[in-house]
Structure 1
């Protein structure tokens, strides 16, 4: 069985193609567009331009799927379309225009899918799982491979940047504003107030980019998946102080995170606040997350 999964996120619209046999799956192809949907929110209303961007990408994906006779396709959307005031209207229009059915998953469900996907890829029976998206951040604490606490917070790398920054790369004042806002929102997770975790399982684009940047800066094997959380503030200061980069700094970013340059600082600010809040000493990056969790939960079961 060949299964297509389309993930309409706040930063990216991704399509992944999996081969599923005997309860196991293998990723055979993935495509993405950096749409930046969260940037098309005005007073938390998704603009028509944002809707048109999504439809354009989905039409492209649909043509690809048709060419390769991939008929089993499921699509879901997360924070950008879940949380906007005109969510129902926007999702209905996209379905009508593209013919692709879209499931709006709740923040709780997103956290659950994150957990199911990520924990199949790492050897951690307990700890804190964090998914920093463009428009939301999911926290999941688990013990003995069972979720004990979960929450979806209304803060993401793209949304935080849009709220606190006016230029492409933030300056030190804007970084300070992002820290204050991130601290406020993370502290609102009252159910997590007594939780500490030395290790974070990090999933999603922010941690993927942070890992690549970390490995480039600290001469680590590029296959390394561990991030020393003490280095997060150093990386933020290096690239988020003046709002302008040196040529050497520009080369590092362009080589390692070309698609994430504009949101990497805001994403790392959120990660740094979370790491300090939970006394985490390191992050272990997992390649698997919400899409794989969705498949295991809704398709393979």
Structure 2
């Protein structure tokens, strides 16, 4: 059986087509695509603007056509902070339904965090630690022990909304970096998470973590087969990216060009989380909320 999951995020809209093998119970990715729609950049006075609605609908129309050509009927679109954090969500959902035929499921921040955990733990073997998903409009944080979730939270800081709020040019200045860090620390402290021990192992989910890993490989020259990144490498990457502006821009364009304006805000968020929770190792998962949604809301129904 084949299934399509569409993830409407604040930074990108992603389509993944999976084949579920009923004999071994595994899922296999058969097709994937993304559109860097940057919906968080189209939020004005708390509402998604007409241009933003148009961006979303245009991307979803393309995916409707692609899935029609692939003869996929089991289609499950969901939205994260891109739509849950806007005031005109009902209007946007109605427009999407009218123009594309898709009925979009808006998931809460806590549910997103739990889906991240379900998806990531299918491919990452960590018994205890924390999970972090830095999106465009929010960051999900999960603490787990013995394979079970102890707490799941979502904070309203993401790579794109922090860029929009604080950064005036292409790259953040020292003052702007401090402002982003201050916002992240404030939101983490609001959670009032009590940790009796430092969270040495972190599972990283999402585009920001994958991009950070790519930059780490480019800068340090080290690639771990287990998709593992030392927290110290994140510091090294940040130090290099704080160098001469043109060199930084050229380096980002070589490795993750589609994230030229969001990778630094995203890595500032990551650095603040690493420091707060004293993480030492990061395992970057290839699975996340989309796979979690597939397992929990489709296959296990």
Tell me whether 1:285 sits opposite 2:284 in the alignment.
yes
1:180 to 179, 182, 185: 182
Whether the aligned pair in 2 keeps the contact of 1:170 and 1:241 (CA below 8 Å) is no
- Say how many residue pairs are matched: 298
Change (3 A) 1:104 1:195: farther
Q: What displacement does 1:195 show?
A: 5.5
Change (3 A) 1:277 1:41: same
CA distance in 2: counterparts of 1:158 and 1:219, whole angstroms: 28
Aligned to 1:188, the other structure's residue is in SS state: helix
Structure 1 gap segments, 5+ residues each? none
Change (3 A) 1:39 1:124: same
Aligned to 1:11, the other structure's residue is in SS state: coil
Structure 2 gap segments, 5+ residues each? none
CA distance in 1: counterparts of 2:211 and 2:142, whole angstroms: 21
* TM-score scaled by length of structure 2: 0.95
Alignment of 1:208-227 (within 5 A): 208-221=210-223, 223=225, 225-227=227-229
CA distance in 2: counterparts of 1:215 and 1:166, whole angstroms: 29
Tell me whether 1:88 sits opposite 2:63 in the alignment.
no
Q: What displacement does 1:194 show?
A: 4.6
Coordinate RMSD, CA, aligned: 1.5
2:198 to 196, 199, 219: 196
CA distance in 2: counterparts of 1:176 and 1:238, whole angstroms: 17
CA distance in 2: counterparts of 1:187 and 1:201, whole angstroms: 21
Q: Deviations over 1:44-75 (max 9, x none)?
A: 21111100000000001101111121111110
Q: Which residue of 2 aligns with 1:245?
A: 246
Alignment of 1:48-67 (within 5 A): 48-67=50-69
Quick check: 289-298 or 42-51, which moved more? 42-51
Q: Deviations over 1:48-106 (max 9, x none)?
A: 11000000000011011111211111100000101111112211211121101110011
Q: Which residue of 2 aligns with 1:125?
A: 127
Change (3 A) 1:212 1:224: farther
